[in-house]
Structures are given as C-alpha cells and as structure tokens.
Amino acid sequence: MPYTMTVSPDFPPTQIAGWYIFNTWLQKKLDISIHLELYNNFDEQRNAIEENKIDLIFANPFDASMLVREKGFSALVKPDSKSDEVIIAVSAESKVMEIEDLQAGIKIAKTDDPDVNMIGMIILEPADLDVQNTISEVVDTYAIVAKQLIQGNSDVGFFLKDAYENFSDLIAKNLRVLVSSQIDVISHAFMAGPKVQEHTQALQEALIDMANDPNEQKILESLGFTGWTIQDHEDTEFMIDLMETLVN
C-alpha cells in the first residue's frame, strides 16, 4: 500500500501542478510509493486525518495541535523565510481607511482557512468587532473573496498574504489593504505520520537539500518556496501553544 500525502487546501490553484511534480520527485528520491490526495476544503481533509488516511501532510498551523498531540505526527521542515500572515482588505472604492472605521454589522468575505479567519478576527478587535456583531460569508477561494469586495457584496475580506500577493494586477488595483499581520512565527509545516517514521530522516535531508540542486530548485519555485528549513520539536510546540493561546 502506498503512503498518502496531502496539502493544506489554502494553496493557490496555480500550484496544483507543482505539488504533483513534487510528489513524483519525492517518490523517486526516497524510492517509496506515495499517493497525493488533494481535498476541496479543510473539513474533508480533517475527516481524512481523523480516519488515519494521511501519512504525509503540508499542514496548516491551525491543525498542528491535532496532528502532533492526537495523531502522532512529527513536523520535519517549514518553508524558508515564509510565515503565515493575514491581509485584511477592502474595495479600492471603499470609504474605510483603517480598521477602526469598520462598524458593527459589516459583511466579511472569507474562505474556510481556519488560521487566517482566526487572525483576521483578532485584527478586527480594535473596532469592537467579533463574530456576534458581524456577518460572515464563506466562499471557496480567495479569488472569490476579492470578487465579493470588488462587486460590493462584502465590506471587508480576509486573505492569506501569499494568496493576495499572487493576484493579477487587474484584481489588485481594485482592492486596498487595510492592514497586514506581522506575527512571523506561525507557518505551514511538512509533517510525517507514525507509519512513515522509518523514512523521516531521509525525508528531512532530501527536503533541506532541494535548494542546492538547480532542477529541484525549480520544483520549489513552482510551490512558491525558496527552500526548506528544519522545524524542530521545540519550534512546533511553541507554535502550537501560540495558536491555542490565540484561539482562547
């Protein structure tokens, strides 16, 4: 039976081919069979994790606690110099100039990305806004979040910074950033489950070495990365503790 790998559903659609290429490279590098399974949303992916169907995952930081403390996963690496930051934006024509200008009853467009939504709501706290006095519309992609703002269907949108910065000039010129988070220590991580433990050292070494090979560097670029850096146990526990503090 092959191992199963999945990727946090918040990556840009333009990177789908890159993840399949990465999976093919990883199989050849480690001489093991790996099936790449991509899920449409976080609920589907979490169900698969709960059912022990996943062995390798490029995981959203929101799910790190469950993966490590409940499912026995180990974080191996994280993207080099790449933290998960959140942008809150409005239509370019909006009269809102800063967070404090937002009023109770606003409509928020967002995806189902849990860490982005959590951080986004924390950023709104200075305007005395919370889930009780705002209206949320959950859509499938960040492109649709942008569309909701541009068409005037929502007042404010939550974006993963990487996704926002990948928008075309046509979309970007019709949006305006209100604020961008600067947390720095929260990031996605590549994790291995219990069934893959015998390969973790070779896997970690192969990922770290990717930046040293021109051909493998191209694979990294297709994923939006420049390289990987080691994510040790202490770093992982700190991130988990921080996420749980933010949630509570």
Report the C-alpha gap between 139 and 110 in whole angstroms: 6
Q: What is the pLDDT of residue 162?
A: 86
DSSP state letters, 178-224: EEE----S---EEEE-GGGGGGHHHHHHHHHHGGGSHHHHHHHHHTT
Q: What is the pLDDT of residue 83?
A: 82
Q: What is the pLDDT of residue 132?
A: 94
Report the C-alpha gap between 14 and 180 in whole angstroms: 23
Q: What is the pLDDT of residue 239?
A: 86
The CATH code of domain 86-180 reads 3.40.190.10
The domain 3-82+185-247 is placed in CATH, from the list 3.40.190.10, 3.80.30.20, 3.40.1350.10, 3.40.50.720, at: 3.40.190.10
Q: What is the pLDDT of residue 236?
A: 87
Q: What is the pLDDT of residue 248?
A: 64
Q: What is the pLDDT of residue 170?
A: 92
- Cβ-based neighbours of 120, under 8 Å, separated by 6 or more: 86, 88, 108, 110, 158
Tens-level pLDDT at each residue, the chain (248 residues)? 799 999 999 888 888 999 999 999 999 999 999 999 999 888 999 999 999 999 999 999 888 888 999 999 999 999 997 888 999 999 999 999 999 999 999 999 999 998 899 999 999 999 999 999 999 999 989 999 999 999 999 999 999 998 898 899 999 999 999 999 988 878 899 999 999 999 999 999 999 999 999 999 999 999 989 999 999 888 888 888 887 777 66
Q: How far, in Å, are 40, 73, 78, 86, 121 from residue 37 at the CA level?
A: 10, 18, 20, 26, 30
245: nearest Cα among 88, 122, 134:
122
Report the C-alpha gap between 64 and 72 in whole angstroms: 10
Helix (H) or strand (E) holding 35: strand 34-36
**Pair 146, 171: CB distance under 8 Å:** yes
**Start-end of CATH 3.40.190.10 domains in the chain:** 3-82+185-247, 86-180
Report the C-alpha gap between 15 and 222 in whole angstroms: 6
Report the C-alpha gap between 239 and 248 in whole angstroms: 14
